[in-house]
Amino acid sequence: MKVILDPREYSMEEIYEAYEGLCHKTVRAYGWEGASKEDLFQECVLELCRCARDFDPGRGVAFPAYVQRALKYRVYGAQRKWFKGQVESLDAGEDFQEALLDPFDLEEAVCREDGQRRLDFYLGSLPPRQGEVLRLYYYENLSLSEIAGFLGLAYKSVENTKAAGLRNLRRLFDVCEEEVDSF
């Protein structure tokens, strides 16, 4: 097995080949009875792609350890969503938009065709830690304590980061609305 320490030096295909076994191992180790192993494997592959994209060697964590921990939490998060009866979607859920907007603004934002693209763009405009916490909380359905463990941060730090990220997203939405209204 090839050990990849810096994913920026390899193609996604090479990274997949090197970590495919770890994806299968993670599904076997952390998959619950009744969960679809194939679906969990696909979740692991998606998380592997995210890890390759977001990995920062400057944080002092080795890529293999980063991937292993991320896969574990992705499998747990996916199973929790399935067993709670939540529908898996690539779009941000209504809960996420409700947290960002006032109820009156929400109806207008949901009606707009480009709302999701704007949300993804704004998430990418946030400081990296805020964007990561919001994605893990709303898209991966991890609790704040799970995010704290995953990122190696204090619970209160994650809570504050989430609140700051939501404030910044609201500001971005408000600025955009003002610009649209001024035309």
pLDDT in tens, 128-161: 899 889 888 887 778 898 888 888 889 999 999 9
The pLDDT of residue 108 is 54
Give the separation between CA 23 and CA 154, rounded to whole angstroms.
28
Give the separation between CA 1 and CA 64, rounded to whole angstroms.
12
**Ordered structural domains, the chain, with CATH:** 1-86 (1.10.1740.10), 89-183 (1.10.10.10)
Instruction: Read off the pLDDT of each residue in 41-68 and give the average, rounded to a whole number.
Output: 87
How high does pLDDT run on average in the chain?
A: 78
The pLDDT of residue 81 is 74
Contact between residue 79 and residue 140 where contact means Cβ atoms under 8 Å apart:
no
pLDDT digit string (tens) for 99-134?
Answer: 554 444 544 544 554 566 677 777 778 888 998 898
Q: Which residue has the higher pLDDT, 90 or 167?
A: 167
The pLDDT of residue 113 is 43
pLDDT digit string (tens) for 20-30?
Answer: 999 999 999 88
Name the pLDDT band for 31 (thresholds 50, 70, 90): confident
Show contacts of 145-152: CB within 8 Å, 24+ apart: 146/73, 146/76, 146/77, 150/69, 150/70, 150/73
Give the separation between CA 100 and CA 171, rounded to whole angstroms.
9
